[in-house]
Structure 1
Amino acid sequence: MIKRILAGILVCIAASAAAVAQPYPSRPIRFIVPYPPGALTDLLARTIGERLGAALKQAVVVENKPGAGTLVGAEFVAKSAPDGYTLLMATSTTLGMSPAMYKNPPINPVRDFAPVLQVGTVNFFLVGNPSFLAKNMRELIEVIRANPGKFNYASVGNGSAHHLFMEILKKEVGLDIQHIPYKGTLAALTDVMSGKVQIMFSDATAALPNIRAGKVLAYGTSAGKQTELIASVPPIAETVAGYDWQAWQGVVAPAATPPKIVARLGTELQRIQSSSEFRDLLTKFGMEPSPPNTPEQFAAIVKSDVERWAIAVAASGARVD
């Protein structure tokens, strides 16, 4: 009996050793997207997954797990085995905004994940109706200050980046303008173009075609540096010093994923990110490629953003529970 037990133990040890010795990856990788199919993050994940799978010579299977402000998918990955076979297409919403809105969030953005690579950033455009009195950022601030409570701004919902960016701007320059939340960018932007509301922050995908068509007037961008997407729109920071906010997309793994696996993934993702073909795709998605970054640098960004988003959410008053 004892011999049989020992033999069984040895077989298990041998099997475990063989599994450990297998080169990574030896089976398909699950790539979790915390958004529904068809969303920007989903399209980006599928673009990355196809190229990462080819580089690793192993299938990368995209799975959509939306819900709870993207925290359903994030929690699933946080609780997955830290073996490199489950990854998350993370965003600043997932690891910044959403956790700050919950009293007891199901994830800790810093503790529960091993950042791999920040892929790109999403700049937001502050746009308004072309017939509005203000024609540039300085005039916009002056007109709203002179008419406290008279004007409205749209967003795609409480706690969204569109909402938070405006609340931060209101606080920094002392504006009294009312918030009208919508259920999506299209509805909000339609009312801006019709003059029902005066201004809103919009992501580049929706804003750029309408800026170029003259249907909306662009006052500035949320990021502190000049956007590469359209040279005629300056950063808001040219008028409001220090204003620098943008969303981002990146890839993370569960915490405690072996450093060698994180490094392997980071190397392959950097190669994908640096290709001109991929950078052109990001531009089509209304994104700008992030500068080359290491897992350590991305981890520092995540940590810094957790603190910034907590302040922004507190300023907005947005809460889920």
Structure 2
Amino acid sequence: MSEIEFGLDTFGGVTRDENGVPVPHPQVIRDLIDDAVVADQVGLDFFGVGEHHRPDFAVSSPEMVLAAIASRTERIRLGSTVTVLSSDDPVRVFERFSTLDAVSNGRAEIVAGRGSFIESFPLFGYDLKDYEVLFEEKLALLAELLTEQPVTWQGTTRAALTDQRVFPTTANGIKAWVGVGGSPESVVRTARYGFGLFLAIIGGPAARFAPYIDLFQRAQDEFGIEHRPIAVHSPGLVADTDAEAREIVHDGWLAMRIRMGEERGWPPPSPGDFEREIETGALYVGGPETVARKIVRTLRTLKVDRFDFKFDQPVTHAQQLHSISLYGEKVVPMVKDMLA
């Protein structure tokens, strides 16, 4: 337990000013870089930036933002959460992250995934009917590229490669994960290609993901692959007190759930859903001790190597910064003490 890492993830969600007005995308990105600087200063292990192509998220090019962060930080590891591999090119993904690895002096990580939204498919000319084959083939190619050896590969979604080298090379390789939302098939595929497992726990109790971790370990054993690390990621916010944290988060959480429900055909939130997600679900909202105790329960339930706190709620940037500081300076030390 003493070796567990603690990180922060952001999707670059648009924050609000003091009057509740959405902050423009350019300022959100600049603020996000400041967030990462604070995360580095308070001793966190990882900072992840997601890729989206829609108005409620400011970041469409995580590597650019991460490169800016690399120039202002010293030790924190930097990665995507996630790179939408299905609508990208694995060669370009490797080239961008190997460049980031050089800029950051070996701190780059890739979290590849299919993404929780589909806007990138029509944007880059991909057909959703190819959803499965796109990810399967591109993940297989990315796994080959990460060996940094000459690659010979052929598929149906891009041009074949014959004894192809890709540059720049890295000093020590790039740690790579696959973001999984809870599909057994995705867990087994992640094991087969030798990636770390990055579980997005965004609703319901963490315990329901224990079978996926067990499946991942068993699949690696069956494939004869050395066990790769496992990370979990859940949303939340830390404030000085439980009541303050709930008040800060509630309205934005409710609006987000309603908006996502309208887009995806989900039923609207029921009375008490917000409180249930905090008490027994995947929402880590409260004062430092409350959040720390909930993280400890998760880490005692799931055998993982890293816990990532998704911190970008639709709140003000000042509230975000305060949450990051409390997470690094109070929550994480409490968690480590409780586990010890």
TM-score computed with the length of structure 1 as normaliser: 0.31
Q: Which of these two proteins has the greater Rg computed from alpha carbons?
A: 1
